[in-house]
Chain A
């Protein structure tokens, strides 16, 4: 197994009721020793990992619907006793000189839990399935200066419609790592600092950068992973 490349990071605003929240996201598409990363995260986060199995459906408006085309995502959490649905709208990225000066991409994000009929409802409203994915992996949710979530997952495609049991990796051996934290315009700087601080601990295994900027392979990754695997995380990286 090799090391890492192509890290993406972005931040998004999530509007909940009348309150604006910032969601800072760092993500890395990496080819990693997943077990080593898990050991590292277990030590850093101090919480148990949660299994992740999310069926994500991306719907787009039909040709005549809306003055502009729109897109909505339906997420079905298959790890729950009963499949739990979430509707997610991701807005456009913030642009301009201010956006260029910060190290993250900013965009709005709104989520809503929904009952199991949600896919049929959006079909009835004129939305069509554009593509679907199955994300399988694990997540850690913890408090470290901010409420941070880190997910490590493989992205899988389904060979038949909605056939989650027959999904295959889009890029075999590649894992997606995302670090996110909700924030508001008032505490944005603190949240970014907390996330950056946390991500520093991942530096021996992962590098993070703005979307489109490749950082290349982390030279210490192999050795760091081997060390973590050999002593189960006792090594200080």
Chain B
């Protein structure tokens, strides 16, 4: 299947993501002649072990994620990032996990927005929101290059597109930029031929990065007294960090 880069919005230090940035990004895609097609949605769920004794929490993975992707409506993906494990299964694997009662689905994040066609590229721009809330937690973008399925062979053209995109976006002077994390797919046992398992790993990596950013921002809030209050939305940042921290702690 075609190669895909998944990008996430990295706010500048002292700023947070907001819906205006999302609007600007979407307008920028249309400004470079991206043709709006339809909506898309992916979901990522944090799973937590159900333990009889909480003291042994360290024995079990704290980064066990479940991911559903729109291009694979009949599949579900598990990622245990710390152990470099990715699994593709049928949707019924979720029912099996419920029946086992050994792990429970906790927080879920939705990634949703619009899809655009731009020549041989398919772009998706989406907001990151918790499953039962409307507040924006992040912005994510998918860049898919339809003609190539080789990760290695696609690198040059993807880099070139990314540079063009960053340049177009920079003209809007937004407080942040998109970042691409390139996971080591080989460590997960995957080849350089792109699959949805590669996408699942990219999503897992992005969420880990978003958690790290949120926790860092939370630390900044509690430590620093000189950052201008008007540049920060501490309640949003702390809520997001707590949402994830609470999930990690339970």
Contacts and interface: CB of A to CB of B under 8 A. Distances in A.
Interface in B185-206: 189, 197
Contact of B101 (A16, A68, A118): A68
Contacts of B88: 114-115
Contact of A111 (B52, B60, B92): B92
B83 A64 contact: no
Given A89-B96, A124-B80, A112 B56 contact: no
Q: Which of A61, A111, A112 has the most CB of B within 10 A?
A: A112
Contacts of B99: 70, 89, 91, 108, 110
Nearest to A69: B102
B87 A72 contact: no
Contacts of B78: 121
Contacts of B89: 87, 112-115, 118
A168 interface: no
Contacts of A95: none
A216 interface: no
Contacts of A127: 102
Nearest to B83: A124
A87 B88 CA distance: 11
A108 B95 CA distance: 11
A64 B49 CA distance: 10
A16 B85 CA distance: 26
Interface residues of B, number: 31
A112 B90 contact: yes
Contacts of A110: 92, 95-96, 99
B80 A16 contact: no
A65 interface: yes
A120 to B, nearest CB: 6
Nearest to A62: B59
User: Which of A17, A113, A121 has the largest count of B CB atoms less than 10 A from its CB?
Assistant: A121
A89 to B, nearest CB: 5
A117 B87 contact: yes
Given A124-B61, A125-B102, A113 B90 contact: yes
A67 interface: yes
A130 to B, nearest CB: 14
Contacts of A114: 87-90, 93
B102 A66 contact: yes
B96 A67 contact: no
A66 B91 contact: no
B53 A64 contact: yes
Which size bracket describes the interface of A in this complex?
A: 20 to 34
B182 to A, nearest CB: 21
Interface string A33-51: 0000000000000000000
A219 interface: no
B56 A64 contact: yes
Contacts of A68: 101
B212 interface: no
Contacts of A87: 89, 93, 96
B82 to A, nearest CB: 9
Nearest to A18: B95
A91 B95 CA distance: 12
B40 interface: no
A62 B50 CA distance: 12
A224 B73 CA distance: 50
Contacts of A113: 89-90
B226 interface: no
B114 interface: no
Interface string B79-119: 01001011111111101100111110000000000000000
Interface in A3-19: 15-17
A110 B61 CA distance: 24
Contacts of B86: 115, 117
B100 A70 contact: yes
Interface string A142-185: 00000000000000000000000000000000000000000000
A126 B197 CA distance: 22
Given A17-B95, A126-B49, 6 more contacts: A17-B91, A67-B52, A112-B89, A112-B90, A113-B90, A124-B80
The 4 closest A-B pairs by CB, nearest first: A66-B102, A112-B90, A112-B93, A112-B92
5 contacts: A66-B102, A67-B52, A110-B99, A120-B85, A125-B64
Interface of B: 49-53, 56, 59-61, 64, 78, 80, 83, 85-93, 95-96, 99-103, 189, 197
